[in-house]
Structure 1
Amino acid sequence: MADFPGKVNTQTSAAASQQGNIKMAVDVSFVRTIPAILMMAETVVGLLVWSLMASIHIFHPAIGWVMFVSVTLWLLTIVLFCMLLFGVHHKLPSVPWPLAVLVFNGVAAFLYLTAFITTAAVASDYYWTWAYGHMVAAAVFGCIVTVGYGASAFFSYTMWRGNDGNAAGSTVPV
């Protein structure tokens, strides 16, 4: 026990000496890619969908479903975009990123398709009310977001297949 302090290296690395400052590199080239532009568009138009549906003060289970889908996917898209922008995917090479992004976009496209169809079907029930315009606009924007997620799924699929189907690749569809 007497020789314990002699065996311990008390030097700190340069990163640790910054006293907790975490440097995150922003991948500016990612923002210029088609998948990133699609993600930004999905975020903006998804915000329009859920804000239009939230402005309707009518209780209907279909409106609850559309709100759940739009808000959940809006938040998850923002999180995924930030992870790709700040290079978190490089820190987690064990995650099969091309496959994960493909599954996310495919599931998002399907869920938004159900939300879009639900909104369009329920809108006719409120034809003579002020909420009709909000619901039609939300349905149109829902259709646009569905197409966006479908296009993102297509680009994710081409990137995944470009890896020869290797789900363990550490690249991201950019």
Structure 2
Amino acid sequence: MEGEMVDPGFPAHTATATAAPQPRPAGNIRFDPTYINFRNIPGMLKIAQIVFNLIGYICAAVSTFNSYSHANWFSFVSMTGFWVTGILLVLYMMHVLERFYMVPWLMLEFGYCALWCFFYLTAAVACATWGGVDSGAAAASFFGFVAMILYGADAFFKFKAWRSGDIAQGGQQVQMADPGMPSPGAY
């Protein structure tokens, strides 16, 4: 149409919203023995949990009444804790958790440690009731209570890390989609 005026006001502008960058750790799998050094509390807790799981299992297995329900429950709790904690230790030492950074590892580990803290409480109390008759059950009870404290401490640290927004392992490396674009909050 002739004679129609175009508004010379603002130029045509389309805003594109970009999502905030998500923290993403490096995802290469490698062996890293520094996870179990003396300065790394989670690594030392896992090593201690594995040791006390194994010693407690041996005490329950050699007890006089090892076929009774209290010893069977203690054996189940200690051996399941031994294997799950051992697998988690290997996953941390091999940096596999960095590969699957979208999985809420800290929340899952918090749930596992809290549950095993409760299971060890029940198993250690069940063995303690037989402690006056059976020295193996008394020893298993002692190691069960220590393992309960270790799992409780691990649950506490996992909960604190989860609430503060930490990731399970690795440094946070932020990758922007386009480095020339300003951040979404810049306008």
TM-score normalised per structure 1: 0.74
* Separation of aligned partners in 1, 2:68 and 2:46: 29
1:67 maps to 75
Q: Is the 8 A contact 2:29 2:94 kept in 1?
A: yes
Residue matched to 2:168: 171
Describe the SS at the equivalent of 2:30.
coil
Is the 8 Å Cα contact of residues 53 and 147 (structure 2) preserved in structure 1? yes
Query: Do the aligned residues in 1 keep the contact of 2:64 with 2:136 (CA within 8 Å)?
Result: no
> How far did 1:94 drift?
2.3
Per the alignment, in what secondary structure is the counterpart of residue 122 of structure 1?
coil
Q: Which string of whole-angstrom CA distances, capped at 9 and with x for unpartnered residues, describes residues 2-45 of structure 1?
A: xxxxxxxxxxxxxxxxxxxxx94123332231011011001011
Superposition deviation, residue 71 in structure 1: 0.7
Q: CA deviation at 1:123?
A: 2.2
Tell me what 1:31 maps to.
36
* Structure 2 counterpart of 1:3: none
String of CA shifts for 1:113-146, please: whole Å, max 9, x gaps: 111111101223x2xxxxx221111111111110
SS at match of 2:131: helix
User: Which residue identity does 1:135 align to in structure 2?
Assistant: A
Q: Which protein has the bigger helix share?
A: 1
| Superposed counterparts of 1:94-173, under 5 Å | 94-124=102-132, 126=133, 132-163=134-165, 170-172=167-169
* Larger radius of gyration between Structure 1 and Structure 2: 2
8 Å contact 1:50–1:67 — kept in the other structure?
A: yes
Q: Name 1:55's counterpart in structure 2.
A: 62
Structure 1, unaligned runs of 5 or more: 1-22, 127-131, 164-168
| DSSP-derived class of the 2:130 partner | helix
* SS class of match (1:113): helix
Give the alignment's Cα RMSD to 1 decimal.
Answer: 1.8
Deviation at 1:96, TM superposition (A): 0.5
Instruction: Check conservation: 1:97, 1:172, Cα contact below 8 A.
Output: no
Separation in 1 of the partners of 2:41 and 2:111?
Answer: 18
For 1:116 and 1:30, the matched residues in 2 are separated by: 29
* Alpha-carbon contact 2:95-2:169 (below 8 Å) kept: no
Counting matched residue pairs gives 140
Asked if 2 retains the 8 angstrom alpha-carbon contact of 1:94 and 1:170, the reply is no
Residue 57 of structure 1: CA displacement?
A: 4.8
Q: What percentage of residue pairs aligned between the two structures are identical?
A: 26
Residue 100 of structure 1 and its aligned partner are, at CA, apart by 1.0
| Conservation of the 8 A alpha-carbon contact between 2:63 and 2:135 | no
Unaligned runs of 5+ in 2: 1-27, 171-187
